[in-house]
Structure 1
């Protein structure tokens, strides 16, 4: 089950003279949206500049974000850029998935104004915790490949950088109202004081978003608050303070249903998939006879961030930028514990594929948990993943002469993560007896934690009492020290750079349920493992040469020795360090060509990235042991080869019509074989062919996703914007996704010859329009916008979680078609076995907005 991301979104809004000045409120989205090449970019922010920085880059500007996002996920706007695939994941609010060049978010450096935000334990970023970015982002830039950042970050597939609003924006404000399908409602208010004569400036924003998504029972509520205070006492010093957060709760669809169940539980019974189907909730009957929906999968989180930025212009040639920040993230996600007479949640489905909570409540009520054995009631728990994160980033830059520059700096962080379970819903039971805590076995827990109570206080408590914790309780402590440097040369024709970084990452695991003198894997263990320090480095360089005013070429090359994530250091959730621990090695090379005129721009890129010694863990695998139990797999020794070509172009026909398009083709495959191990959720090994560790025959297998998601290897889009009259814009986009490969299932590659499951290709069309209504005061105007997504209501599979072939035999003893292949039994959908677990994409959805600028 996907839990919340503990990563800090270190929203270092370093928007000052030595950092980033970008984006006054877009006064005319049609004509006055600043080009990113005009922005002064120094300090901690590494933004690629056209015809200068030798990397493959695409930019989404403020106007496009304001006009086209609506009730989409923010990252979905990136689907019109090459080699990027963003989906809605399970369909819950903010549960989007992102990949670039076939690499998932934990191997993409997600940054805000140059600050790394990937989780320091798992590397992942879950955007549900940062839905407020859509309110404060002025520009998104995607650098594919190793990118231009000087930091020692996980930019294997690329870098996604968000540039946000500043305290120094022009005086004024905006009020917005948005409505859409499934009760979507969003309201926001923002105001900027402008800079006073004494050098003070203030900006603040507040918004609320609530409703549901296209999927059944995915209600949510989210707030965003943002406050920035800037002070520039003189030309040499600029100070900025900021605090922001987006506390939210949302009900989820975290488990991908089978294709057969999408069809079986369609209320229309027309043998087509019911795309809204959600198996992660059900109903109970209240005292008035009304059916009340109960969510079994949910997420709640708040990640307040505070930062202080100081930019010091030491001289005409030297600057020093310093950012100090902190974040205390609080929240968790759901899972089930226990059972009724040995029966888990999956045995209580009704005839429409939802949980029958009347049966669950009645079964729990009949049990006395005081006298019954441990785990004898069926409950919902919340897996808490809170954290405290503190960091400082410093960057010194010096201009040697007109052509040469160098910079050096440090990026230092401390992280402490809290991981445990608490009771979320007793489902009618009088208590739950837990025996996992060896310090207090067989204790009765009765306190329920309400996930809909949003956390606003950044200094609030991070932990629950030890006697209220269930199933597990462990903490992760991470120390990160790094240094970086860069030297660059540039003139009108040539720009080149060489940069490198070194880092030490120390991991410590702390398990509160470990008793003194305990053993694991034949070793005596303690509550604290002590820090395991890992050294890493990277070096990269590149050059861009402008052949003339229209043509340019570039190349870059880089090598990373990247520390593995915490799950690889302490595998199987145990206190023993992996004896085969090794750094991951990434080697990448890229070539590019650009052509630019006043009306036509085009870019072509060729790339090759090899990633060795990869380790990954996949959780929430159903029936991993053949006895109905869930578990996880750990795979080591993986090598992946990603190579491809990308094309991006735009053409302005005249003042009324503009076209833009892209095409990307990739070849992502495994190179050589790997080793896999399976475990139950309680860390019990699951034997495969008599052994816990087995060879996985992955050589030349296409790369798919790693957790209920898919990787496409061909994408294309074509869009047009028409301005028939002043202030009116109408736009449409066609998107194509092909060569889509489902999540790798470890058990399917125990013998040679298997292939990854390829999902059907699909096409989507989105349309929209916006109209500006100016008032007599030129600084005041209304804007009306409307968007329709998936205009043709296309039915398509966006993500796959399994690898079952149509030619595979049905093996379940309870299935009447046992022994037949899915083809022979007539149980296929668009060539796929109907036992495959997938997420269908949303059908036709819509949103409209009204805003007033003043």
Structure 2
């Protein structure tokens, strides 16, 4: 190892002075280092962005702590400190998993005007879109699996929601400004905490304080009127082992879709403290208070042909010259973590992280008795004047009102990871993770729209009836919803890794348990708390890689999960009644692949299979079933099989060119017919069952065929052109399997048209002394292709009843970035 480190020093970091030694200590904790070190007596820099070392063959696939220190003339330079983040980043060359990494440079090129998941959209098997076209509203699929089957980790800590498993990406609008690297770990994922890694794991590493002081500022502006400015400050190493960095940004302006304006701030503060040789601390605080208008109603083909892809039916003029959107989101989710790293000996590392988050916000909403506001359409937009004129009933009550649907949560937890580096190539990892999650939801009247009051129908809408409550509600009063959930979740895990000779292997197991309860002040008066639903689950996963030669490696991995259901499944009735006979979902995953390195590039091919058993699906809140009254229902026992192949190739024909190509072919289908339990919306009692006929239907919402290519061309020393092309095919509309109640209806959901997308970015870099100036111009959808990103199947699975969101036409952005050292 020592000889390999010295070789890296000589080959990877040219210009390092004689007598300067880079010491890389590998222990068992996971880490990515994002820092730049300057030698004490020369203008030489050791730049270590996330994964710069992790892509070297010397880095093993276990969770490891990398400590990078500078020693000059055998004297430790005490003012440099160390910055480490526990994060499960893996070596792309040595891991038995299918990995892809997006580094900071690519993030800077792609982040202008796109949602966060779209930063990884050019990886085979991934489908990431802006969904509705609203700023920050996004959806992500990996290998056909939706967000609830994708684990999202931030600096090694799971951040996916515990209620449904979803990620609300608009709560993380400023995250791209604070991200150093993103690693996609497909299939089983590299962390023992990724319980829901069926499609894969998205592992995000934020930027960290560096030893060199710097100021970085950037600005971009899109062709449709949206912009963002940002400023980052880094103190560099301070006396006493301190280091501070601060980032702030502001996004503003119009969206591509009409009346989807945005106003969003973002911030991140990092404070690191090197206490001594054995202890270090890192405090990180980030958040993004935001407001953005939305497009929440999908379009039909007829509406698209008449109004175009920018059309948004959610707005209209409430008064002359005053547009008003029916949908607007506002939220702030500060997220604070404190990492402590303790190294009692050379072979032992204890990494502990405590975190807390408190989200608060909501969205503009409406309630109606009879004709809905969105049904008052005139010339393609909401006829607010007509809706208000028809809103007042003879008794003065309102038929429709505007409201704010408010929601928030408090999430806190602690994770501790112990790593022991053993002998003969073995390492041992064990840890605990506990998280507490408390949510609340309320609805508050904001506008009576010309009426004097809203009559809240407690008698029919609340299980408790009127119960002495005043049903006459005015502006500012709460209605319909006042409930929340309390969830505790704990995971204990252990893993063994082996790295010796040509072998890399890992095997681990975890046990997890959860308690779930609910409170409800709307449906209950005296005893507002439910009973407690509990569940236990486990996961077993492992993998091995063998290097046949210096160029060729074979790998295999697999996992079995017994997954604890999400909290919403335990309370599928929408009240405090606990759903009976809820069972764990079971997942069985397998993957095998080959990597081949050649003189000017590399090739990798993978075959995968994922069997998803006993899936429980909670229906949409208000479906028309059986007696045409709205009821909730839960589907249990649904199975799906996803399998396919992925391949990509990298080729560098010359020092000025880099070419990439990829292919992803999947076959994703539901595998059985099941029954759904129907619950009475108000009593929560079981009303009966209906049969669901989904066997053999193609899974919708993501393309099962993807082909792509990209080229990076250096046009001289300063100018660079990057272009990427992607073809998506076999994209079936999303649908609710429960809607398939006719045994003779075995037709797949509507297949959306195949489409191509071509994007290009031209960038120019100039060094001005120690500073770096970058200008870039990007053009998206260069061919101005017409395409549908997402859609919902209709009753006859045809274009006539299909509704969806069409993608952006040709658009561009211009940006500038200046880094001053």
For the superposition of Structure 1 and Structure 2, which TM-score range results when normalised by the shorter chain?
A: 0.7 to 0.9
User: Does residue 390 of structure 2 align to residue 363 of structure 1?
Assistant: yes
Give the distance between the partners of 1:576 and 1:346, measured in 2 at CA: 33
User: Does residue 361 of structure 2 align to residue 327 of structure 1?
Assistant: no
Matches within 5 A, 1:819-834: 832-834=798-800
Structure 1 residue 242, shift from structure 2 partner: 1.7
Structure 1 residue 196, shift from structure 2 partner: 1.9
Given candidates 374, 394, 403, the residue that maps to 1:381 is 403
Structure 1 residue 152, shift from structure 2 partner: 5.0
Give the distance between the partners of 2:739 and 2:571, measured in 1 at CA: 23
Structure 1 residue 516, shift from structure 2 partner: 5.5
Structure 2: unaligned runs, 5 residues or longer: 1-25, 39-45, 66-85
User: Does residue 474 of structure 2 align to residue 446 of structure 1?
Assistant: yes
The secondary structure found in structure 2 opposite 1:672 is: coil
Matches within 5 A, 1:447-596: 447-448=475-476, 468-515=477-524, 526-596=527-597
Bigger Cα displacement from structure 2, 405-414 vs 596-605: 596-605
Structure 1 residue 667, shift from structure 2 partner: 0.5
Structure 1 residue 372, shift from structure 2 partner: 4.7
TM-score (normalised: structure 2): 0.87
Alpha carbons 2:427, 2:497 under 8 Å: kept: yes
Q: Quickly say closer, same or farther: Cα 1:735–1:259, change in 2 above 3 A.
A: same
The aligned counterpart of 1:305 is 335
Structure 1 residue 134, shift from structure 2 partner: 0.6
Give the distance between the partners of 1:625 and 1:762, measured in 2 at CA: 39
Structure 1 residue 344, shift from structure 2 partner: 1.9
The secondary structure found in structure 1 opposite 2:106 is: helix
Matches within 5 A, 1:628-647: 634-647=634-647
Give the distance between the partners of 1:146 and 1:169, measured in 2 at CA: 36
The aligned counterpart of 2:80 is none
Structure 1 residue 561, shift from structure 2 partner: 0.3
Give the distance between the partners of 2:114 and 2:485, measured in 1 at CA: 34
The aligned counterpart of 1:132 is 174
Alpha carbons 1:37, 1:49 under 8 Å: kept: no
The aligned counterpart of 2:609 is 608
The aligned counterpart of 2:373 is 345
Given candidates 48, 60, 83, the residue that maps to 2:125 is 83
User: Does residue 344 of structure 2 align to residue 314 of structure 1?
Assistant: yes
Query: 1:749-796, CA deviations, whole angstroms, 9 ceiling, x for partnerless residues?
Result: 432342222211111110111101221x1x212210111111111111
Alpha carbons 2:259, 2:315 under 8 Å: kept: yes
Structure 1 residue 35, shift from structure 2 partner: 6.8
The aligned counterpart of 1:755 is 747
Alpha carbons 2:516, 2:532 under 8 Å: kept: yes
Q: Quickly say closer, same or farther: Cα 1:547–1:328, change in 2 above 3 A.
A: same
The aligned counterpart of 1:789 is 780
Given candidates 146, 150, 171, the residue that maps to 1:108 is 150
The secondary structure found in structure 2 opposite 1:619 is: coil
The secondary structure found in structure 2 opposite 1:77 is: helix
Give the distance between the partners of 1:622 and 1:794, measured in 2 at CA: 35
Query: 1:708-749, CA deviations, whole angstroms, 9 ceiling, x for partnerless residues?
Result: xx1211111101011011121111111111111111243344
Give the distance between the partners of 1:80 and 1:671, measured in 2 at CA: 29
User: Does residue 314 of structure 2 align to residue 280 of structure 1?
Assistant: yes
Give the distance between the partners of 2:234 and 2:438, measured in 1 at CA: 35
Give the distance between the partners of 2:187 and 2:194, measured in 1 at CA: 14
Of Structure 1 and Structure 2, which has the larger fraction of its residues in strand?
2
The aligned counterpart of 2:9 is none
The aligned counterpart of 1:183 is 225
Give the distance between the partners of 1:622 and 1:716, measured in 2 at CA: 38
The secondary structure found in structure 2 opposite 1:795 is: coil
Alpha carbons 1:802, 1:837 under 8 Å: kept: yes
User: Does residue 66 of structure 2 align to residue 36 of structure 1?
Assistant: no
Give the distance between the partners of 2:377 and 2:691, measured in 1 at CA: 37
The secondary structure found in structure 1 opposite 2:318 is: strand
Query: 1:68-125, CA deviations, whole angstroms, 9 ceiling, x for partnerless residues?
Result: 2211122213221111000111111111110001111111001111110010111100
Alpha carbons 2:659, 2:711 under 8 Å: kept: yes
User: Does residue 204 of structure 2 align to residue 162 of structure 1?
Assistant: yes
Structure 1 residue 570, shift from structure 2 partner: 1.2
Q: Quickly say closer, same or farther: Cα 1:676–1:741, change in 2 above 3 A.
A: farther
Alpha carbons 2:573, 2:579 under 8 Å: kept: no
Given candidates 723, 737, 749, the residue that maps to 1:732 is 723
Matches within 5 A, 1:234-273: 234-264=276-306, 266=307
The aligned counterpart of 1:658 is 658
The aligned counterpart of 2:21 is none
Aligned Cα root-mean-square deviation (Å)? 2.6
Alpha carbons 2:96, 2:556 under 8 Å: kept: yes
Give the distance between the partners of 2:633 and 2:792, measured in 1 at CA: 14
Q: Quickly say closer, same or farther: Cα 1:631–1:72, change in 2 above 3 A.
A: farther
The aligned counterpart of 1:461 is none
The secondary structure found in structure 2 opposite 1:193 is: strand
Query: 1:553-587, CA deviations, whole angstroms, 9 ceiling, x for partnerless residues?
Result: 00011100001112211112022222121000000
The secondary structure found in structure 1 opposite 2:390 is: helix
Structure 1 residue 320, shift from structure 2 partner: 0.4
User: Does residue 696 of structure 2 align to residue 700 of structure 1?
Assistant: yes
Q: Quickly say closer, same or farther: Cα 1:315–1:33, change in 2 above 3 A.
A: closer
Given candidates 135, 141, 144, the residue that maps to 2:186 is 144
Given candidates 785, 791, 798, the residue that maps to 1:800 is 791
The aligned counterpart of 1:836 is 802
Alpha carbons 1:773, 1:782 under 8 Å: kept: yes
Give the distance between the partners of 1:562 and 1:343, measured in 2 at CA: 42
Give the distance between the partners of 1:425 and 1:730, measured in 2 at CA: 52
Matches within 5 A, 1:619-630: 619=620
The aligned counterpart of 1:707 is none
The aligned counterpart of 1:825 is none
Q: Quickly say closer, same or farther: Cα 1:32–1:425, change in 2 above 3 A.
A: farther
Structure 1: unaligned runs, 5 residues or longer: 1-14, 267-273, 449-467, 518-525, 705-709, 807-831
Give the distance between the partners of 1:685 and 1:844, measured in 2 at CA: 52
Give the distance between the partners of 2:292 and 2:446, measured in 1 at CA: 14
Alpha carbons 2:703, 2:731 under 8 Å: kept: yes
Give the distance between the partners of 1:748 and 1:561, measured in 2 at CA: 27
The aligned counterpart of 1:773 is 766
Alpha carbons 1:439, 1:515 under 8 Å: kept: no
Q: Quickly say closer, same or farther: Cα 1:764–1:685, change in 2 above 3 A.
A: farther
Q: Quickly say closer, same or farther: Cα 1:155–1:789, change in 2 above 3 A.
A: same
The secondary structure found in structure 1 opposite 2:345 is: coil
Alpha carbons 2:134, 2:257 under 8 Å: kept: yes
The secondary structure found in structure 1 opposite 2:113 is: coil
Q: Quickly say closer, same or farther: Cα 1:81–1:650, change in 2 above 3 A.
A: same
Q: Quickly say closer, same or farther: Cα 1:631–1:22, change in 2 above 3 A.
A: farther
Determine which structure has greater relative contact order: mean sequence separation of CA pairs < 8 Å that are 6+ residues apart, divided by chain length: 1
Structure 1 residue 33, shift from structure 2 partner: 8.0
Given candidates 433, 438, 458, the residue that maps to 1:411 is 433
The secondary structure found in structure 1 opposite 2:304 is: helix
The secondary structure found in structure 1 opposite 2:121 is: helix
Bigger Cα displacement from structure 2, 746-755 vs 134-143: 746-755
